[in-house]
Structure 1
Amino acid sequence: MTLFRQQILYLTVFLTVLFAGNFIVTVDDARRYHEIQLLSHAQDTATALGVAIASIPDESITAIDALIDAVFDRGFYHRIRFTDLSGNILVNSEHTMVLDGVPAWFMKIVPLESPTVSTTVNRGWMPAGQLSVSSHPGEAYRALWKTTRNKTLLFLSLLILAIAGLFILLKIVLKPLQKMTDQAEAICRRHFYVQDSLPRTRDLRRVIEAMNRMVEKLNNLFADKAALASEFRRRFTQDALTGLLSPENFTLRADRHFQSEDGAAGGTLILIQLSGWEGIVRQIGASQSEVLLTNMVARLTSTIQLWPNALIGQRNKTGFQIFLAPGSLTASQPVVESCFRSLASLEPFINGQGRQALHLSAITSTGYCSLATLLQCAEQQVKQLQLQGENNWQLNILNNMSTQNPSESHQMTEDWLSLIHQALHNKDITLDHQPAININNNTLFHELFARLHINHELVPAAAFLPIVERHGLHTTLDNAIIELLEQWTKIPQDGRRPMPTGNISINIEPLSLMDNHFFTGLINKLKNRPLLAQRLIIETSERIMLLAHSDELVQRIQTLHALGCRFALDHFGLSDQSLSCLHRLNPDYIKLDGSLTHQITENEDNQVYIRMLAILSNSRDFILMAQHVESEEQWTCLKRLGISTGQGRLFGKPEPVN
């Protein structure tokens, strides 16, 4: 029972006892008053009637009877009796005890005695007889019943008003306590916030101030750890001047693409090399050369924003490298050309030695290959461009037809986008599922992966997702997946379950979550299917951290949590902003990017970083997951670092949903 209910119960009982005691005392006082009045009335009547009888000459019984009847007929007496000195009844007038308008139960609960008063009638100095008078309690009962009834209504009204006032008062007084309870429960849900409004009650104010200090310390502690982890990550993965990926980390992430299923979609490698750097430094000065590198990075970063999964890194002191997936000659050409034009328009490359310093080489593969092969071809092409002299760029497709994925031939045609439109419109989607296993070998959930049927072939997500995102088809794809999920999670009449039992995880684009129409439809579907909502885990890319400062995004995630859904961040650990905004989103699961777990047994930097993430996750009860776990050695190392859940071919490869 809550404190508010206890206080209401205790004070209600107290007020009820208080009012009841006051009521009983008041009714008893009224009863005693009426008894005294009856006694006084009988005494006065007996005295006055005795004097009147004593004045009747010759002791005429007829006159005495007439006198007694005259008094008795007024109806206020139960009995008037006159006897001689021997006790013989000379005159007797008596009414039956019938009371109208008074409940019988009331007369039993509140009895009124009918007092009898006797007096001696004297004639001179000699007694002439005995007179007894008994008052009738009828009027007294009626007056007492009316008084009791009115006071009962009054007391009940006052009691109800007092309880209502007490309820309102306790609500006001204990409102800060409810806020403190909500704050404590929010902490249990990994949501840390400070109460701005403090109560006037000094004791409650002190408690809430202590809670606020605790929350601030926890937030500061988490922020300090997150900042330390981010700084460590930047120091070991990024170039100090440009902030781009170091050559080692760029190679690790790009190579991971080709070693996974996404490698079937191919990729494009762009090398940007500056020739004659020493001459440019002499021409513009050392300080301006650093500014030039910074401007080049800013323009390259801005140019590839339409490719969310693009990698950009430092190749050497005077060179950069960019990796795009999937591989497509027609899709890569505008990116390569835009990169070259954005750099060539910088002033140092317009005049002087700078006119022969900028060369951009791009090689694309539309199927499986290795990063080393792309790099070798791109380097040869760069040398050819440098021999030509003038600033220039060139894009070629890798002659790798023996390993080319057949479905990639569609990407070389202009109707590739229309084929995707058609597949989404016809719901030509296949869902694969892969389990996520914890350290106790229990399945936490199954993640669903979408594939499109295009020209009788299954096209992996890596091949069509970049095109879907660039052309704003993400909400169409996500809606189609949710509708398919909603349909497949219904148990058919024959009892077969096409979808795996337990929790289900699906990926939704960050921009889809921020789309009002999509989000409203998703919430309505989940409200109609509460059991599905409790099984569902919404995954979204780490890129949603760019929107983490939006209160609307935080509110939408809280809405999903309120319906029973859980929230997961996918491909975590690549962005610098991830850790700083993590506390606002409060995800249930954090899924590390596969590049962090790739070669984890040899990469000590990633081991330290993952260990720091595990410590942060434990402090907020996040479940830290590793993706692309493919060997026992990997899994053993990850468990030692604090990873509690893994997903990858070691535990089961993606399989079609039945």
Structure 2
Amino acid sequence: MPLSRQLVLSLFSIFLALFIGAVWISVSNTKNFIEQQLSSHAQDTATSLGMSITSYIGDKDMPLIETMVNAIFDRGYYSAIVLKDADGKVILERRNPVSLEQVPSWFINMFPLSPPVRVTELNDGWTIAGQLSVQSDPGIGYGQLWDNASDSFQLILLMFLVGLVLVWFLVRMITIPIMALVKQSEAISQQKFDRVELKPKTLELRIIVDAINLMSERLSDLFGRLTNQAERYRDFAYSDELTKVGNRRAFDLAFEQILSDAEHQTSSFLMFVRLSSLNQVNCNIGFLEGDAYIKTVSDLLSEHLNKQDIDFTLYRLNGGDFALIIEGIDEVTCLDLCQQLIDKCNAIEKSEYESGTAQIAAGSFNYGDRKKAILEQVDSALTQANFNPLKWQAVDKLQTVQSNDTWREKIKALLDKDTADFIAQPIKSFSGDEIYQEWFARFPEPDSKQHIPMAELIPATIRLDFSQKLDELLVRCAFTKLSSQSGTVGLNISRLSLLKPSFQHWFVTQLTQLGAQCSHLVLEIPERCLFSDTNNFLSFIVNVQNLGVKITIERFGAQIASVTHLRAIKPDYLKLDGRFTKNIHTEKDNQLFVHSLVDIAHGLNIKVIAVQVETAQEAQTLKDMQVDFVQGFFVGAPIALEC
């Protein structure tokens, strides 16, 4: 029960007891006073009337006695007047029934009046001539008692209500600052360091509010320094100082991670961009102009690539050499992109660039390829590009395997078949408990038992605008299988679909129909989603979370997502990018960086998952760094789900 309600109920109970007690005491005192008045009134009447009729007792003058008694009795203040002779025989009696029409019976039963009978002896000289008894009428007393009780009740009730209002305001004065402090404490636990702007009028509460605000400011500063330290370390270890893009070390880690990532096999391409005239500019004009040349081309590449709806990362390898890793596109898109980049570079060409602005080479690579062979092929193509009038050259094996028409027919047949297979890989704690399984979709060839290579299918669906329909098929099939699963399941959905309002609405509708099974679902979203239309995407994520679905941000660390975005989305899990966990037991720099990411995540109450864990040494190092869960061949290889 809330403190405010406890205070109100407690004070209400006290006030109610005071109210009842005050009314009871007031009425009881009035009752006693009225009974005394009735007794005194009866005694006075008996004495005065007795003295008046004493001389007429006997057979001397009864009519006169009756007249005198009637004169007193008819006034209505008496319930009985009885005259007896010396032998105790009643010689005159008058009685009046009690009339209580305006007084409730319950009140009479609760506060009964018992007017006493007062007796006086009638002396005729030295002898007792008779006895006169008088009893006052309680009806008038009940009326007075009821009126007094009503007036007392109304007055005390008014005071009671005024007191309750004052108590309510007092409780509000106390509880509003307390609730503000509670909310701030909850916000601090989620790394939201807002101030309590309310200034309580109560000195003690004001001191507490000031202390909490001071603590919030210091924690905000501490967490900000921690975040900045992680970002500075990432920049120092993995960013080029001049261009702010990834450096050679970052490229090596990312390239090796993709080549060894068995879970996320996708079509990937490597481009080399070489500034053809950098040596000439450095020698003829100076290194400052050379740096400006490098920065201009780097910004040009980044600006153009950011406008494309592709998953890319740009690196500066050394001097005037850049590398570009692009995932999830096909050969046609890659070749078109080469021409677009060359056109952009040619547009900024100057007379000082004697050998042209740049030359480009491109080659494809997939999971399992040898790093050295791929680098040699693309580097050889880069040399050939210098002699190519187009200024770009693709590795010889780059060619369109299937036409758009062929892919369109294949995808339509796949969608018409409306089925998908899944392979599952567990995510476990270091004690071996399974947290959830990540499901990877596989789509069978329409006319065979083979599965379509995802590295070819995904780029084709993007190019032909089928990605949303493919994701909808994946979700429908997964939800159908989910009902037969006892554990929790993680699903990957493409960034393109997740950012479309039409898909968001459709997905929330499907989750609503799924009902209670939503609590067994984890939605894995790429880190890049955090940088696109944040407000709309945040609203979608909140709707999904409200239905019971958990959220995982995957490939975390590749971009260092803004902590502000993480605070807003509040995911349940973060999956570290595989490039930082591979061989982490021997990579001191990666250990420092991952440790800082884990500290940030745990500060936000987010669990951390390490992926591509393949050896006991990697697992032990990650455990020592407080990583919560692991995924990879070390804890479980992907297995096909039974249909």
Letter of the structure 1 residue corresponding to residue 425 of structure 2 = Q
CA contact (8 A) 2:276 2:355 kept: no
**Structure 2: distance between partners of 1:534 and 1:466:** 32
1:299 equivalent to 2:300? Answer yes
**Structure 2: distance between partners of 1:623 and 1:381:** 44
Alignment partner, residue 2 of structure 1: 2
**Structure 2: distance between partners of 1:510 and 1:218:** 34
Structure 1 portions without partners, runs of 5+: 401-407, 491-496
Select between 74-83 and 10-19 the one with higher mean Cα deviation: 74-83
1:109 equivalent to 2:139? Answer no
Q: 1:429 aligns with which of 407, 410, 420?
A: 420
**Structure 1: distance between partners of 2:192 and 2:515:** 23
Superposed CA offset, 1:592-624 (max 9, x none): 111112232332221221122233333333212
Alignment partner, residue 404 of structure 1: none
Letter of the structure 1 residue corresponding to residue 382 of structure 2 = V
User: How many Å apart are 1:248 and its aligned residue?
Assistant: 3.5
CA contact (8 A) 2:521 2:549 kept: yes
- Give the alignment's Cα RMSD to 1 decimal: 3.5
CA contact (8 A) 1:445 1:504 kept: yes
**Structure 1: distance between partners of 2:214 and 2:415:** 52
CA contact (8 A) 1:448 1:506 kept: yes
Summarize the Cα distance change of 1:506–1:164 in structure 2 as closer, same or farther, 3 Å threshold.
farther
Superposed CA offset, 1:605-654 (max 9, x none): 21221122233333333212111112223222322333221011222222
**Structure 2: distance between partners of 1:27 and 1:618:** 67
Select between 534-543 and 16-25 the one with higher mean Cα deviation: 534-543
Letter of the structure 2 residue corresponding to residue 16 of structure 1 = L
What SS does structure 2 have at the residue aligned with 1:564?
Answer: coil
After TM superposition, the structure 1 = structure 2 runs for residues 287-436 of structure 1, keeping only pairs within 5 Å, are 287-305=288-306, 306=308, 308-326=310-328, 328-348=330-350, 351=351, 353-356=353-356, 358-364=358-364, 369-387=369-387, 392-398=391-397, 409-410=401-402, 412-416=403-407, 419-420=410-411, 423-424=414-415, 427-436=418-427
CA contact (8 A) 1:307 1:466 kept: no
Alignment partner, residue 27 of structure 1: 27
Select between 520-529 and 19-28 the one with higher mean Cα deviation: 520-529
User: How many Å apart are 1:133 and its aligned residue?
Assistant: 0.8
**Structure 2: distance between partners of 1:418 and 1:34:** 106
Summarize the Cα distance change of 1:276–1:482 in structure 2 as closer, same or farther, 3 Å threshold.
closer
Superposed CA offset, 1:153-194 (max 9, x none): 665576466546634552354122122222323444555433
What SS does structure 2 have at the residue aligned with 1:450?
Answer: strand
Alignment partner, residue 546 of structure 1: 531
CA contact (8 A) 1:328 1:365 kept: no
Q: 1:487 aligns with which of 461, 480, 490?
A: 480
**Structure 2: distance between partners of 1:356 and 1:557:** 47
**Structure 2: distance between partners of 1:263 and 1:34:** 97
CA contact (8 A) 2:499 2:529 kept: no
CA contact (8 A) 2:331 2:398 kept: no
Alignment partner, residue 614 of structure 1: 598
Summarize the Cα distance change of 1:533–1:208 in structure 2 as closer, same or farther, 3 Å threshold.
farther
Select between 456-465 and 430-439 the one with higher mean Cα deviation: 456-465
**Structure 1: distance between partners of 2:465 and 2:48:** 111
**Structure 1: distance between partners of 2:172 and 2:347:** 68
User: How many Å apart are 1:119 and its aligned residue?
Assistant: 3.4
**Structure 2: distance between partners of 1:468 and 1:284:** 48
Aligned-residue sequence identity (percent) comes to: 25
**Structure 1: distance between partners of 2:75 and 2:207:** 74
User: How many Å apart are 1:428 and its aligned residue?
Assistant: 3.5
Q: 1:629 aligns with which of 606, 613, 617?
A: 613
Summarize the Cα distance change of 1:276–1:94 in structure 2 as closer, same or farther, 3 Å threshold.
closer
Summarize the Cα distance change of 1:653–1:241 in structure 2 as closer, same or farther, 3 Å threshold.
same
After TM superposition, the structure 1 = structure 2 runs for residues 169-188 of structure 1, keeping only pairs within 5 Å, are 169-188=170-189
Structure 2 portions without partners, runs of 5+: none
Alignment partner, residue 269 of structure 1: 270
**Structure 2: distance between partners of 1:466 and 1:159:** 76
Alignment partner, residue 503 of structure 1: 488
What SS does structure 1 have at the residue aligned with 2:636?
Answer: coil
CA contact (8 A) 1:307 1:324 kept: no
CA contact (8 A) 1:265 1:368 kept: no
Summarize the Cα distance change of 1:17–1:437 in structure 2 as closer, same or farther, 3 Å threshold.
same
After TM superposition, the structure 1 = structure 2 runs for residues 562-601 of structure 1, keeping only pairs within 5 Å, are 562-578=546-562, 581-601=565-585
Superposed CA offset, 1:340-387 (max 9, x none): 111121133xx3553446321222358863333232222222223334
What SS does structure 2 have at the residue aligned with 1:59?
Answer: coil
CA contact (8 A) 1:344 1:391 kept: no
Select between 225-234 and 197-206 the one with higher mean Cα deviation: 197-206
Summarize the Cα distance change of 1:95–1:387 in structure 2 as closer, same or farther, 3 Å threshold.
closer
After TM superposition, the structure 1 = structure 2 runs for residues 636-655 of structure 1, keeping only pairs within 5 Å, are 636-655=620-639
Letter of the structure 2 residue corresponding to residue 259 of structure 1 = S
Superposed CA offset, 1:425-474 (max 9, x none): 76443333221011111011112223334535433555444555567655
Select between 375-384 and 44-53 the one with higher mean Cα deviation: 44-53
Letter of the structure 2 residue corresponding to residue 540 of structure 1 = I
Alignment partner, residue 37 of structure 1: 37
**Structure 1: distance between partners of 2:514 and 2:33:** 71
**Structure 2: distance between partners of 1:134 and 1:516:** 92
**Structure 1: distance between partners of 2:187 and 2:523:** 21
**Structure 2: distance between partners of 1:582 and 1:203:** 35
After TM superposition, the structure 1 = structure 2 runs for residues 77-156 of structure 1, keeping only pairs within 5 Å, are 77-85=78-86, 87-94=88-95, 106-121=107-122, 128-145=129-146, 147-148=148-149, 151-152=152-153, 155=156
**Structure 2: distance between partners of 1:274 and 1:616:** 38
Select between 471-480 and 592-601 the one with higher mean Cα deviation: 471-480
Letter of the structure 2 residue corresponding to residue 393 of structure 1 = W
Summarize the Cα distance change of 1:427–1:516 in structure 2 as closer, same or farther, 3 Å threshold.
same
**Structure 2: distance between partners of 1:653 and 1:53:** 123
